[in-house]
């Protein structure tokens, strides 16, 4: 066991090195202290073909277990294939909240499951989570796709302006002419990203907005 002091940026590099170059024997534990005083423990092991990587920092706990060959998408953001009989399980615990992702090859089909505590939730790849933002600017995760929300929301009050946003008529503060024949919406409660009405929806949006 050893303790070293490195910058926070180097933690990811160290974790990747462990992930890529670990051999088929138990490696043991490495303690890392960052420049701002945070301490992390890295533990990696291999048993019966199953590799385990464990990172712990106070009340935050992150663990990866996998077996077999795993293929990633070109942007490295999604798992596209796992060899027959293989799996990967990712567990994260933070201040009492436990989340788990299990992806495995079941008779040649890739099965993906997501759990919060003991409850299974819809599985979505990164960037596909749907949020609701209320008038108090509070953000909530919804277990619905935008397509499903479109079917249940009142069409006189809500409009899907592009692939990413559905907006409430009461939330629109201003509508401005934007480049490439598009429109830009200024929201009363959301300012993290620009809300742009896609070109193919401009005419429909104008009719919806002017009719309310």
97 shares a domain with 40: no
Are residues 60 and 75 in contact, defined by beta-carbon separation less than 8 angstroms?
no
Domain boundaries, position 95: 60-128
Enter the pTM of the model. Answer: 0.47
83 falls within a domain: yes
Percent of the residues in the chain that have a pLDDT greater than 70, as a whole number: 76
Q: How many domains does the chain have?
A: 3
69 and 52 share one domain: no
Mean pLDDT of 121-141: 71
Q: What is the pLDDT of residue 124?
A: 57
52-111 pLDDT per residue, tens: 888 887 778 888 999 999 888 776 667 888 998 899 998 988 777 888 989 998 888 888
Is pLDDT of 39 > 80? no
| Whether residues 159 and 201 fall in one domain | yes
Report residue 125's pLDDT band, with 50, 70 and 90 as the boundaries: low
Computed over every residue of the chain, the mean pLDDT equals 78
Are both 65 and 54 inside the same structural domain?
A: no
98 and 109 part of one domain: yes
Residue 46 lies in a domain: yes
**Residue that terminates a domain, selected from 128, 153, 176:** 128
pLDDT for the residue 11 = 39
Q: How confident is the model at residue 78, as a pLDDT?
A: 75
What is the mean predicted confidence (pLDDT) over 124-151? 74
**Which pLDDT score, from 0 to 100, does residue 29 have?**
58
Q: Are residues 154 and 192 in the same domain?
A: yes
Query: Which of the pair, 183 or 18, is modelled with greater confidence?
Result: 183
Predicted confidence band of residue 5 (pLDDT cuts 50, 70, 90): very low
**What pLDDT, on the 0 to 100 scale, is given for residue 33?**
64
- Percentage with pLDDT > 90 across the chain: 25
Q: Which residues pair with 5 in a beta bridge?
A: 33
Per-residue pLDDT reduced to its tens digit, 98-115: 889 899 988 888 888 888
Q: Nearest Cα to 125, choosing from 117, 115, 114, 116?
A: 114
Which of these ranges, 90-94, 143-147, 148-152, has the smallest mean pLDDT? 143-147
């Amino acid at each position: 066991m050893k303790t070293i002091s490195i910058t926070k940026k180097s933690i990811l590099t160290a974790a990747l090195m462990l992930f890529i170059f670990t051999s088929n024997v138990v490696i043991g534990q490495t303690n890392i202290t960052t420049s701002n005083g945070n301490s992390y423990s890295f533990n990696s092991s291999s048993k019966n073909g199953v590799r385990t990587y464990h990172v712990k920092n106070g009340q935050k706990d992150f663990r990866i277990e996998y077996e077999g060959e795993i293929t990633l998408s070109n942007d490295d953001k999604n798992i596209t294939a796992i060899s027959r009989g293989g799996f990967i399980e990712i567990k994260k615990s933070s201040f009492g909240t436990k989340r788990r992702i299990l992806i495995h090859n079941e008779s040649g089909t890739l099965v993906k499951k997501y759990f919060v505590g003991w409850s299974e939730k819809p599985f979505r790849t990164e960037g596909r989570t749907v949020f609701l933002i209320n008038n108090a600017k509070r953000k909530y995760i919804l277990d619905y796709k935008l397509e499903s929300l479109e079917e249940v929301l009142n069409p006189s009050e809500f409009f899907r302006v592009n692939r990413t946003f559905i907006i409430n008529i009461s939330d629109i503060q201003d509508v401005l002419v934007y480049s490439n024949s598009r429109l830009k919406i200024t929201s009363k409660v959301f300012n993290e990203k620009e809300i742009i009405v896609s070109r193919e929806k401009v005419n429909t949006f104008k009719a919806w907005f002017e009719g309310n």
